[in-house]
Structures are given as structure tokens and as C-alpha cells.
């Protein structure tokens, strides 16, 4: 089948986006290929279409996030495309079923976490599979100079040894020229390899930086003056709730999202936001990966991301439909120092790192010399409480220990419940089960197709609503059916793991080398300073500044960012008296008050004159100030 026909049949598109066809042709010709495509550029099409174009065989996709795996597999299955995954959160039975599908040729795509590549058995089994393409998603993770380096990605080279003639496709949305070259080197790209780079410029997005003295009020003001779906990014879980509650109280329908919420809660809120029932999601960076919502009109950053790579990726979730959208970064005087302090906290003293390693091994009851290639459940919160570690210090130490090869902390292992029926359809007519179990089974058969051939994700709450049973009764009914061997029930669980790639060392021999510590600190410092430079320097176009960071020269200024807008605004000749009247009328629109920063922004380029008018109104008793919020007297 021709490539365009596959695209039309499974995705409904009449043609490829820019660069997609070039990358696909390169792969089909057997070339190792690097694709640099910005967020929303359609990276998955570049390997899913050729994976189906091969008459037979398997496409292996290495991706770091389990949630991303699930999303892509669900999307493929909805299109009638067979795919399986292998990751550390799966049971032995689930892994066995996945391998059966692979060896019987009943899957076209295998999604695998990079940690699985450490398993010698897994690598040996791959020799027997007809692999036609190897895909490395989020490929910047393989570079030590990338912003999200993961040592487990270095094991991808083992796949090349098993299938040396199979082409490799590496994909990333954010990579500097140095990181791009490092990716190709680490993946041992062969002679004749090709690199395709889509422009990082998003012409429909206006990148704006706004000074802010009271961010929560400014967030409300920005959202109240724009339409459509939005995301507000913060860097703490507490702030997500506080801002969402404030927005709701102010008349903007919002909810919050962070990694600490239950699977059901996260799914419900994500679905509500995707459907438009919730206009604004206030979230940490846990929200967004794998979410394909094209009509996001605005993304506001209340807190600084630690790098331009992360800012670009998060801000790029706006305007995927190509329509006019906004990315706003709120900046206070203290943000610069906060970002630099966080960088230092990410590099604890070496003695503290060794103490965390020793405590973690003790927590897992590992003796010296034990633990080689073991995967163990790890209650991180209990660990910190037991050994009196601050959460941030322990996480930073784990990250550096991972890069040094001593342990990998795998936090994202939350799995929703799964079920597979293990008896024939005829046997279901003769089962002896309680009324609740029988009702639950009938509901499963009605609402979840494919139960006889594979594990299917289920939701006990949904079953309860459909059967008028409470969730505990549904849970016990599923356990009963599991005991009677009618089905296999894997309850939802949320358990972090620690993988020990090497036997436990004495802490005094734990080495955090210069490349892991000093060199890495220097690289991260440059990223932080680039982020600060983007936010605080207003002498050149924001977009040009960002593109230069990614090694792309822009011929002219964007004309849409706040810097370009301010240059296009011609100086006015408004008198002081006129401005006082205008500020008075403007403040009447906001009975609850307004910050001086927001007011001055809306009177640019006459912001100084507007500020003088505001001070006049306060001094003459027409307005009052309360915690940096200004209100007219008649509204107080």
C-alpha cells in the first residue's frame, strides 16, 4: 500500500505535513535518520506510517514515559493497528502475553522503556524477532549534554548490535546543534545518515514576557482578556490548587493537575479539559506530554522552567491547530535568584549523595555486593521520612546517582487496572458466581471489547456507575472472578521502583565523576542563564533570541512578541490630565482591583504616564492600595 493511502486509511489525512514525507522516504531507503521537529509537528506519523508500509516485521519504539506509551498504543488500537508494550510496571502474566503476540507476529509495534534494554534475556529474545525499524523517541535523553539525560538510553546501542542493518530513526522536539550531533554519535549512525530539521519558529504563537508583582491576579487578568482553552504552568503542587481555586472564585472554570493525584482523578480532569468542560488547567510539568489538544489558545507560565528547551516545549502546546495563540511568561524581580538557587539545590554535596545511596541500599535491605540488575519497589516518601531527607535533596541525589550508573529511580509507574478473560465464551454461561460478580462480568463484556485476546484497561468507578454497585463491591467482585480463574485482574497500583544496575558498593567507593558533577553543573548553568537572558533582556526579538539558542537564524524579527510590539508602537502625546481620566475610567472596569503592572501594560507605550496618574489618584484620595492591588474608593 502506498504511503499516502496508509495515511488516509488510518489517520484520515490527505497529505503529509512538512518534513514528514522526507523523513519517511529516508527511513524506507534504509538510512539512519535524525528528525528535529517542534512540539505539534507530527513526529509519531514519521514512524507509524512506515511501520505499516513494511509488508511484515516489527517496529521497536523506545520512549521514556509509560504514560506516553499507553497513549500511543491506545491511539493505534483505536485505528485497528496492533501494538504492545513492555515496561517495568507490567506483571509476569502481562509480559508473557505480550511476548506471545510478538513471537506469533500479531503486533506491528513494540513500545519499550529504556530500562528494559538492560535485561540480557530481553536483548536475546529480540534476535528472534523480524525487526524492520528502531525508533528512539525523545532522543535528546541519550545526550549527556541534553536537558533530560537518562543513562538508560545509552543501552539503545545494544539494539544496534542485535540488528545492525536495521535503520534507526531518532526524534526530538528540542535539541541544540551540539546535542543533535551527540545524538547521532551515541546512536552510532552509519555512513549516509540524514538529518532533517523543521524550523522551530511557530508563526501563530505570540511569545510575551510580562513583569508581575502579583502573579495570581495577573493570571486572572490575562485569562479574562483572552478566549479559549488554556494551561497555567507552575512548579509546585500547592500552587496548582491555590491558583485554580482563585480562578474559579473569579468566574473562570479551572481545575488543577499534578503527579500526586490519583490515576482516576488525573484521567477525569484531563478528559474534562480536553472536552472543554474545564477551560483552564493549572498544572505542573507533569501535564501535557502526549496530550493532543489542538485548540489551546494560551499557555501562561507563572514560574520559570529551568531551561529554554522545557519552556519551548511547554509553551508549544498552544496553537497546534495553527490559529493565533499566546505564550506568556510572568516575571518578577525574585525569579532570577530563585532559578539560580534551584540549580544549586540540584547538585548536593558529594558526601550527601553518598549518604543517600547508602541509606537507599539499607532501606531495600541490600548487603554489600548484592542487588545486581534487580528491580525493587521503593516507597520514596517513607524513605525520606525514615532517614530524614528533604524530598528535593533525595531526588537530586538519585538523579546524579542514576547518571553515575549506581541506581535508577523510576517514579512514573502508575498503572490503571487491567483485565483479561481466560475462559472460552461458552464457559461463561456456566459460571457459578455471586450476583455482584455476575453483574460486573456482564458489564465488562458490554463495555470493554478485546477482553478474550489481551489485557484491557478498565475503570472500577465506571463499572460501578453502570451497575449501581459501589466501587468496593466491584473490586471484590473482580477479585472473586479472579479466584475462580474466569479472568485475570490486575488492580491499579502506584509504586515507584529502583533499578540497581550494579551490585551495591561501599559508600566510600561511590564516585560522582567530573563529567557527572562539575561538567553537568556548567551545562545546566548555561541553560539557566539562557532562560534568564530570554526573560529579562528586552533589547531584541524574543523569538529570534530563542531560535538562535537552537541554532537557527531568523532573517527578521517576529513582529508579535512584546519586544517587537513595543517597537511598533509610536510615541503618543497624551496629556497628564487626559491620562488621569483614562486611568480612572479603566479602573472602573475592575471593581475588585488591579495591579500597577497590569495597568501600565495596557497603557503601553505610555506606561510611565499611566503610573503617574495612578499615584495621583491614590495621593488625592480617589483610590487606595491594598497589598499591591489598587481600587477606586467608590468600589472599596
List, run by run, the mean pLDDT of 10-residue segments along the chain (636 residues). 89 89 94 87 90 91 82 86 84 84 91 83 87 93 76 82 92 86 91 89 90 91 92 94 96 92 82 93 82 88 93 91 93 92 94 96 95 86 94 92 87 73 86 90 90 85 90 91 90 80 92 90 92 88 89 78 75 76 83 79 74 86 84 73
Q: How far is CA 87 from the centre of its chain?
A: 18
3-state DSSP call for residue 40? Answer: coil
| Residue 437 confidence (pLDDT) | 92
How far is 581 from 616, CA to CA, in rounded Å? 11
State the CB neighbour count (10 A cutoff) for residue 60: 25
For residue 232, give the nearest of 398, 85, 217 by alpha carbon.
217
| Residue 413 confidence (pLDDT) | 54
| Residue 322 confidence (pLDDT) | 86
How far is 532 from 520, CA to CA, in rounded Å? 18
Whether residue 476 contacts residue 368, with contact meaning beta carbons closer than 8 Å, is answered with no
Whether residue 146 contacts residue 310, with contact meaning beta carbons closer than 8 Å, is answered with no
Cell of 41: 509537528
| Residue 294 confidence (pLDDT) | 87
3-state DSSP call for residue 59? Answer: strand
Whether residue 477 contacts residue 467, with contact meaning beta carbons closer than 8 Å, is answered with no
How far is 299 from 316, CA to CA, in rounded Å? 8
3-state secondary structure 283-345: ECCCCCCCCCCCCEEEEEECCCCCCHHHHHHHHCCCCCCCCCEEEEEEECCCHHHHHHHHHHH
Amino acid at each position: 500500500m502506498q504511503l499516502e493511502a496508509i495515511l488516509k486509511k488510518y489517520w484520515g489525512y490527505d497529505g503529509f505535513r512538512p518534513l514528514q514525507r522526507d523523513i519517511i522516504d529516508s527511513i524506507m531507503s534504509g538510512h539512519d535518520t535524525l528528525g528535529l521537529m517542534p512540539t505539534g509537528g507530527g513526529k509519531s506519523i514519521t514512524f507509524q506510517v512506515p511501520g505499516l508500509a513494511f509488508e511484515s516485521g516489527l517496529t521497536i519504539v523506545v520512549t521514556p514515559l509509560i504514560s506516553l506509551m499507553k497513549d500511543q498504543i491506545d491511539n493505534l488500537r483505536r485505528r485497528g493497528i496492533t501494538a504492545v508494550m513492555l515496561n517495568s510496571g507490567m506483571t509476569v502474566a502481562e509480559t508473557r502475553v505480550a511476548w506471545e503476540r510478538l513471537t506469533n507476529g500479531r503486533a506491528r509495534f513494540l513500545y519499550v522503556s529504556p530500562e528494559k534494554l538492560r535485561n540480557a534475556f530481553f536483548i536475546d529474545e529480540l534476535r528472534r524477532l523480524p525487526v524492520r525499524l528502531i525508533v528512539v523517541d525523545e532522543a535528546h535523553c541519550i545526550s549527556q549534554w541534553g536537558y533530560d539525560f537518562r543513562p538508560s538510553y545509552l543501552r539503545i546501542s545494544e539494539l544496534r548490535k542485535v540488528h545492525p542493518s536495521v535503520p534507526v530513526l531518532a526524534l526530538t522536539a528540542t535539541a541544540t546543534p551540539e546535542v543533535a550531533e551527540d545524538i547521532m554519535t551515541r546512536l552510532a549512525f552509519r555512513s549516509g545518515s540524514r538529518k532533517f530539521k523543521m524550523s522551530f519558529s511557530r508563526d501563530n504563537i505570540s511569545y510575551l514576557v510580562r513583569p508581575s508583582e502579583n502573579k495570581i491576579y495577573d493570571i486572572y487578568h490575562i485569562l479574562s482578556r483572552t478566549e479559549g482553552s488554556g494551561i497555567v504552568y507552575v512548579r509546585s503542587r500547592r500552587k496548582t490548587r491555590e491558583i485554580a481555586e482563585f480562578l474559579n472564585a473569579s468566574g473562570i472554570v479551572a481545575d488543577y493537575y499534578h503527579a500526586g493525584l490519583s490515576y482516576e482523578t488525573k484521567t477525569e480532569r484531563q478528559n474534562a479539559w480536553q472536552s472543554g468542560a474545564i477551560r483552564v488547567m493549572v498544572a505542573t510539568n507533569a501535564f501535557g506530554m502526549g496530550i493532543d489538544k489542538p485548540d489551546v489558545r494560551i499557555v501562561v507560565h507563572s514560574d520559570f522552567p529551568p531551561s529554554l528547551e522545557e519552556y519551548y516545549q511547554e509553551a508549544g502546546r498552544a496553537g497546534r491547530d495553527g490559529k493565533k495563540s499566546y505564550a506568556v511568561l510572568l516575571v518578577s524581580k525574585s525569579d532570577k535568584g530563585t532559578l539560580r538557587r534551584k540549580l544549586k539545590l540540584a547538585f548536593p554535596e558529594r558526601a550527601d549523595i553518598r549518604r543517600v545511596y547508602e541509606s537507599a541500599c539499607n532501606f531495600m535491605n541490600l548487603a554489600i555486593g548484592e542487588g545486581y540488575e534487580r528491580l525493587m519497589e521503593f516507597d520514596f516518601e517513607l524513605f525520606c521520612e525514615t532517614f530524614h531527607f528533604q524530598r528535593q535533596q533525595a531526588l537530586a541525589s538519585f538523579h546524579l546517582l542514576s547518571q553515575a550508573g549506581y541506581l535508577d529511580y523510576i517514579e512514573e509507574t502508575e498503572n490503571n487496572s487491567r483485565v483479561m478473560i481466560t475462559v472460552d465464551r461458552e464457559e461463561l454461561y456456566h459460571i457459578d458466581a455471586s450476583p455482584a460478580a455476575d453483574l460486573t462480568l456482564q458489564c465488562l463484556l458490554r463495555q470493554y471489547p478485546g477482553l478474550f485476546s489481551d489485557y484491557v484497561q478498565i475503570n472500577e468507578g465506571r463499572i460501578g456507575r453502570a451497575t449501581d454497585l459501589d466501587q468496593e463491591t466491584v473490586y471484590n467482585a473482580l477479585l472473586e472472578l479472579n479466584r475462580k480463574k474466569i479472568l485475570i485482574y490486575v488492580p491499579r497500583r502506584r509504586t515507584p521502583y529502583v533499578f540497581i544496575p550494579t551490585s551495591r558498593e561501599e559508600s566510600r567507593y561511590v564516585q560522582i565523576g567530573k563529567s557527572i558533577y562539575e561538567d553537568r553543573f556548567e551545562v545546566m548553568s548555561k541553560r539557566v542563564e539562557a532562560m534568564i537572558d530570554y526573560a529579562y533582556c528586552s533589547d531584541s526579538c524574543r523569538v529570534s533570541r530563542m531560535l538562535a539558542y537552537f541554532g537557527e537564524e531568523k532573517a527578521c524579527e517576529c513582529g508579535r512578541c512584546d519586544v517587537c510590539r513595543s517597537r511598533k508602537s509610536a510615541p503618543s502625546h497624551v496629556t497628564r490630565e487626559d491620562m488621569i481620566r483614562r486611568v480612572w475610567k479603566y479602573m472602573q472596569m475592575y471593581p475588585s482591583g488591579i495591579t500597577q503592572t497590569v495597568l501600565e501594560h495596557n497603557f503601553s507605550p505610555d506606561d510611565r504616564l499611566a503610573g503617574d496618574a495612578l499615584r495621583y489618584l491614590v495621593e488625592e484620595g480617589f483610590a487606595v492600595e491594598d497589598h499591591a492591588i489598587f481600587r477606586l474608593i467608590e468600589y472599596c
